[in-house]
Structure 1
Amino acid sequence: MDSWIRFSAQSQAKERVFRAAQYTCTLLGYTLQKGGAGVELLKTVKQLEAHVSLTRKLMRLGNSAEAVEAAKRAVHLSDSVLRLCLTVAHLNKAMYFACDNVLWAGKAGLLPQLDQVKWSQRSFRYYLFALILNLTRDAYEIRLLMEREARSSHVGSKATWTSSPPSPHPSSLTPENVDLSDPSSLPGAILPVRLRRQCHLLVTVLRSNPPLLLDLLKNACDVFIPLDRLGIYPTGQGFVGACGLASSVLSILTIVHPWLKLKP
């Protein structure tokens, strides 16, 4: 098992390159079709995309074992939210890879009676659920970091306030009958200030945490692929190709520079 997992990890970079090539073909085919290219050229691009996709599926044989091992490691995380999101996400990825392997066997002719449409839809459902859990994990980590940043900023501003002359208390500047704990009762001028403060915290957190930013962008790009394939939110081949290419490039970056990979 361990030797197979090491082999899968070594082939991951090649699989990402093939993934980038596949979605490049998707985007290229859409661009050529919009530009009025010839039928033969479009057919060649689609065949190339199909061959690259089949090669990718071959390279992902056995990735289910790696996903199961990742789920076993995630079970021991101390944070309950991260433990739940990562464990279930890895298990869904394991099921996605298993369905993808069955689909490869059908396309390769090993299972000629296989209902490829049904298995493709099934694999994309597992993929979508895994991506939703990954996005939930990203949102959770962003919230924790924003709260930490807000506390540190509050401590710093409090230290500055104690060393400077006192200013009028905010309550003295607040209109009567306004409950500061209830945002719905705040005047319209105060809400944009709070919104700007939250946006500033978000930008600060993402700027200081490149792995989290890359993971968020990668998952946000990837989620449109199963949404389109399942017909939940159709976006078209061009948008799917652009999103797939962008997420593939981000994945390659995390492989080339391991410190950019979000942990755990």
Structure 2
Amino acid sequence: MDSFVKFMNQSQGRDRLFRATQYACMLLSYVLENKAGREKVVMKLKRVESNMSSGRKLFQLGNMVHAINASKASIQLSDPILCYCLTAANLNRVLYFTCDTVLWVRSVDLVSNIKKEKWRHRASQCYFYSLLFHLARDLYVIINCMKEERKSKRNGDDCRNGPTLNSSNTLQKSFGNFLFILLMSLKNHPPVLLDTVKNVCDLFSPLNHLGFYKTNPGFIGICGLVSSILGILTIANPQLKLN
């Protein structure tokens, strides 16, 4: 119970819970949409989904400041690749939260002459670019993890877990050897695995809205739900968060 209270006291924890509910409702409404006698249930699910989305926009009003502070912190990183990827990702998050704030202002009718689709498209673009830079960071971290794994294998560590890398030049260059090192690297570094899966799942939503990869709400709901659950896990257990 203490862990749950601590989780709910965090703004990110509440946002992830709302997000999981939003995408779960999207998935369920898609599954039940074409079934007879489920019209009222589908309407309720879509109403809950809309309310969760509006609630998240309200909770995210202050996230722009957090994204700006994250940009200031990432620009001071000594690693140039991490510095560039994370700073670019955070700056795009600043723009995304700006667009999200404009959309919230329009949704509550504070300003009526805002073109919703135009700002929604801009928000999707910023979100898409932010995810791309986060995935570039994930790829860079995975490559470094694979280098460490390859080095440890060459030194004779964990020989029982798979083939040695220094047995022959052909084996080192084989696809099977590459795949083995990749899997071992992800196994030994769960945070980068969870972060990569989360970002890949999140990527389908802006891809769909921008028209790069058209899919159905059910698939978006599954991806969003998986991403939200992984986000809940990283908040509940900070050791699983990629820093």
Cα distance in 1 for partners of 2:221, 2:123 equals 19
Q: How far has the Cα of 1:232 moved from its partner?
A: 1.0
CA spacing shift, 1:33–1:73, aligned 2, 3 Å: same
- Check conservation: 2:24, 2:221, Cα contact below 8 A: yes
Question: Is the partner of 2:212 in helix, strand or coil?
Answer: coil
- Check conservation: 2:172, 2:178, Cα contact below 8 A: no
Question: Is the partner of 2:61 in helix, strand or coil?
Answer: coil
- Which residue number in structure 2 is paired with residue 183 of structure 1? none
Cα distance in 2 for partners of 1:53, 1:98 equals 16
Question: Is the partner of 1:77 in helix, strand or coil?
Answer: coil
- Which residue number in structure 1 is paired with residue 83 of structure 2? 83
1:19-168 to 2 correspondences below 5 Å: 19-156=19-156
Cα distance in 2 for partners of 1:240, 1:37 equals 24
Q: How far has the Cα of 1:113 moved from its partner?
A: 1.5
Contiguous gaps of at least 5 residues in structure 2: 1-8, 158-166
- Judge which range, 39-48 or 207-216, deviates more: 39-48
Question: What amino acid does structure 1 have at the position aligned with 2:210?
Answer: L
Question: Is the partner of 2:33 in helix, strand or coil?
Answer: helix
Cα distance in 1 for partners of 2:218, 2:172 equals 36
- Check conservation: 2:95, 2:123, Cα contact below 8 A: yes
Cα distance in 2 for partners of 1:141, 1:147 equals 10
User: Sequence identity, in percent?
Assistant: 42
- Check conservation: 2:171, 2:177, Cα contact below 8 A: no
Q: How far has the Cα of 1:37 moved from its partner?
A: 4.6
Pairing 1:204–2:178 present: no
Question: Is the partner of 1:14 in helix, strand or coil?
Answer: helix
Question: What amino acid does structure 2 have at the position aligned with 1:76?
Answer: Q
Question: What amino acid does structure 2 have at the position aligned with 1:247?
Answer: S
Question: What amino acid does structure 2 have at the position aligned with 1:217?
Answer: V
Q: How far has the Cα of 1:153 moved from its partner?
A: 1.0
Aligned length: 227
Cα distance in 2 for partners of 1:36, 1:65 equals 47
Q: How far has the Cα of 1:25 moved from its partner?
A: 0.8
- Which residue number in structure 1 is paired with residue 14 of structure 2? 14
Pairing 1:223–2:203 present: yes
Question: Is the partner of 1:62 in helix, strand or coil?
Answer: helix
CA deviations 1:144-191 (Å, max 9, x no partner) are 11112112212328xxxxxxxxxxx96xxxxxxxxx7xxxxxxxxx68
Q: Name which of 167, 185, 193 aligns with 1:213.
A: 193
Q: Name which of 205, 221, 226 aligns with 1:246.
A: 226
Cα distance in 1 for partners of 2:89, 2:66 equals 13
Question: What amino acid does structure 2 have at the position aligned with 1:244?
Answer: G
Question: What amino acid does structure 1 have at the position aligned with 2:199?
Answer: N
Cα distance in 1 for partners of 2:233, 2:37 equals 33
Cα distance in 1 for partners of 2:39, 2:91 equals 42
- Judge which range, 19-28 or 34-43, deviates more: 34-43
Cα distance in 1 for partners of 2:239, 2:202 equals 21
Contiguous gaps of at least 5 residues in structure 1: 1-8, 158-168, 171-179, 181-189
Q: How far has the Cα of 1:38 moved from its partner?
A: 3.6
**What is the root-mean-square deviation of aligned Cα atoms in Å?**
2.0
- Judge which range, 37-46 or 113-122, deviates more: 37-46
Cα distance in 2 for partners of 1:136, 1:37 equals 46
Q: How far has the Cα of 1:204 moved from its partner?
A: 0.5
Q: How far has the Cα of 1:235 moved from its partner?
A: 1.6
Cα distance in 2 for partners of 1:36, 1:154 equals 62
